[in-house]
Each structure stands twice: as structure tokens, then as C-alpha cells.
A = this chain, B = another copy of it.
């Protein structure tokens, strides 16, 4: 052997990855800003000396990252446009992996507690009147005789509204993603409740109201504590 090591090149990149890099460079350099249109796929392919297929695969990657959006036809919405859709991208990724990775339920609950404690506290500190109304709205609908699926959707809406009210986009997105990923598993649990369903519904509804009250009262510590208690108690109520 002429050398011992240090030779680990080069994993040559695939064409579409090079295209992705070029576009990201332009974005990071500020040459491409949100709202700008990329060259047409055929143009870009010609300029970068790759096939249109490679360009399109790159676009799919960027689209999945929430960086561009493609539209057909002509006019302002046509073509491939640089956009800022971080929440959508983040939510898609997290949601899938929560479903895919079988994270231990305890881990997911711990993560939810951490995130939603924070959200509830922030919401109590910052929530505007409109944000409060958004939080209250699902509560009213839940008061009726909602069935399990409706109840679950409204519960999701409640938690999302609290997260949004906190005002931290990143925390809200993570919260939303995890709650969305839990939507089906939780529905399954609701369906297995049997005769305990009315009792559970009443208990959860009461906890929601208390959380809303604490946020409306502007009491962060209380809101956070109630939210943590709510998540734990719903686990206790729903777990098999």
C-alpha cells in the first residue's frame, strides 16, 4: 500500500444534487430572494448543462424543503418561485418521522409536555384578543355532543391555537407536527374507551377550560402547569 489512509474521496454527487446546491448558493448569497422566479426548467437545464429531469428532481427536493413552489400556466403564480414555507416543510418531516420511528410513547409525551408548557406560558404572556378567540372557538364547539372524531379534531385545534398564540413560530411548528402525528393514535384510543367516553370527554373539556382561563388571565406559570397536568392526565385517561 502506498499510503495508509487519508484517501476517502469522493462520493461524487448526483446531478440533481448539484442543481440543488447551485440554487441554494444563490439563495444564501442573496441573489435569489423570496418571491423571485427561477429560470424556466428548460432554461436552467441548458445553463447548468444537465437534463431537464435532473432539474426537476432538484425542484422536488427544494419543494420538500419549503424553499420553492411551482405553478403551471402563465402569470405571477406560474413558474418556479422562491418561497418561504418553513412550517409546512417542518411539519411534514416531523409528522412522518413521529409515525415512522416508533418513538416511545413516553418520549413523545415528554416532548409534548416540554413544548406545550412553553407554548402555554408564552400564550399567557402574549396572547392577543384574536388569539384568545382562536383558542376559545374549539372549546365552544366541544361543549356540544361532539362524537369522538370531531372531539379529537377540536382538541387538535385547541392545542394548535395555544401553540400559535405563543408567538414562537418554531416552537409552534414543532408542537403542531407532533400533535398532528398523534391525531390518529389518539382517535384509536378514544374509540376504545367504551362507556367511559362521556366521563373522559367531560374531564378533558374541563381541563381545556381551565387552561383557557389561565391564559386569558395572563398567568403563565399557572397556564404551563395546567397544560402539563392536562397532557399527563389525558395519557392516564386514554392509555389502555
Cβ-defined contact, B111 with A96, below 8 A: no
Q: A53-B53, A110-B171 are in contact. Are A89 and B99 (CB under 8 A)?
A: no
Contact check: which of B53, B61, B100 meets A64 at CB < 8 Å? B61
Copies of this polypeptide in the complex: 2
Q: A53-B53, A93-B90, A171-B107 are in contact. Are A34 and B66 (CB under 8 A)?
A: no
Residues of B within 8 A of A24 (CB): 96
What number of A residues sit within 8 Å (CB to CB) of B? 49
Cβ-defined contact, B86 with A101, below 8 A: yes
Residues of B within 8 A of A101 (CB): 34, 84, 86, 169
Contact check: which of B82, B96, B98, B118 meets A114 at CB < 8 Å? B118
Residues of B within 8 A of A210 (CB): none
A63 interface hit (Cβ, 8 Å): yes
Residues of B within 8 A of A86 (CB): 93-94, 97, 101-103
A57 interface hit (Cβ, 8 Å): yes
A158 interface hit (Cβ, 8 Å): no
Q: A53-B53, A84-B97, A108-B170 are in contact. Are A60 and B64 (CB under 8 A)?
A: yes
Cβ-defined contact, B110 with A93, below 8 A: no
A49 interface hit (Cβ, 8 Å): no
Q: A99-B27, A110-B171, A171-B110 are in contact. Are A94 and B84 (CB under 8 A)?
A: no
Residues of B within 8 A of A97 (CB): 66-67, 84, 86, 89, 173
State in angstroms the CA–CA spacing of A96 and B90 once bound together: 12
Q: Which 4 A-B pairs have the closest CB atoms?
A: A64-B64, A86-B97, A60-B60, A84-B102
Which A residues are within 8 Å of any B CB, using their own CB? 16, 24, 27-28, 34, 53, 56-58, 60-61, 63-67, 82, 84, 86, 89-90, 92-94, 96-104, 107-108, 110-111, 114-115, 118, 122, 168-171, 173-174, 178, 184
